[in-house]
């Protein structure tokens, strides 16, 4: 079985994972696991499910090392799992066949790819923090803007009378407005002040 793994760090509203899915299908992935989680997180539910499901001789496909993990330590653990389970890893055009003893050059190259993925993540983090310090020094207010009555979407006001009349509960109201329950709860606390 050929498993594909696609990952984005931020929500589906901010990043589109479909490009990865299409490319994984083109690379022959028969079952694709996709999730929105940080690459440094060690307890990614779908990634772990894929590893648990994989059997000796199966293949795991990802477009880049950074999609599998942004941690060199975790990559080493994944390589060990692939060796134990005798899996084949395809990362972009790089093939690592762990169904046979892994040659040191291939393993070293894969680990170097992991080092560069972690380095890239650390550099991005450093630039973001530097940019935030710079913006703060210039007097910019950081974080999410304050929610006001004016910033609440009109669809909430459109369906609010139904909620107020008791025709909708908060869950139905949130679904109708295509918003999360916590967001509707926040908006209601402002509207009903």
DSSP code of residue 101 = P
CB neighbour class for 92 (10 Å; exposed up to 12, middle 13-18, buried from 19)? middle
CB neighbour class for 179 (10 Å; exposed up to 12, middle 13-18, buried from 19)? middle
Could you say which of 9, 66, 125, 151 is catalytic?
9
Let me know if 140 is a catalytic residue: no
CB neighbour class for 130 (10 Å; exposed up to 12, middle 13-18, buried from 19)? exposed
- 114 CB-near residues (< 8 Å, 6+ apart): 65, 69, 71, 72, 75, 76
In degrees, to the nearest 5, what angle opens at C-alpha 146 toward C-alphas 140 and 148? 140
**Active-site residue set:** 9
């Amino acid at each position: 079985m050929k498993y594909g793994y696609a990952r984005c760090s931020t929500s589906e509203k901010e990043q589109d994972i479909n490009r990865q899915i299409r490319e994984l299908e083109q690379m022959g992935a028969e079952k694709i696991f996709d999730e929105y989680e940080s690459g440094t997180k060690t307890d990614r539910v779908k990634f772990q499910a894929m590893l648990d499901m994989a059997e000796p001789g199966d293949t795991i496909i990802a477009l880049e090392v950074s999609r599998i993990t942004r941690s060199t330590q975790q990559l080493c653990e994944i390589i060990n799992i692939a060796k134990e389970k005798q899996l084949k890893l395809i990362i972009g055009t790089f093939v690592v066949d762990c169904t046979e003893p892994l040659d040191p050059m291939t393993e070293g190259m894969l680990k170097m790819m992991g080092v560069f993925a972690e380095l890239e993540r650390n550099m991005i983090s450093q630039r973001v923090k530097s940019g935030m310090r710079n913006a703060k020094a210039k007097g910019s207010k950081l974080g999410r803007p304050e929610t006001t009555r004016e910033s609440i979407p009109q669809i909430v006001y459109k369906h609010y009378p139904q909620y107020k009349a008791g025709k909708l509960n908060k869950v139905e109201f949130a679904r109708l407005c295509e918003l999360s329950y916590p967001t509707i709860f926040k908006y209601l606390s402002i509207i009903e002040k």
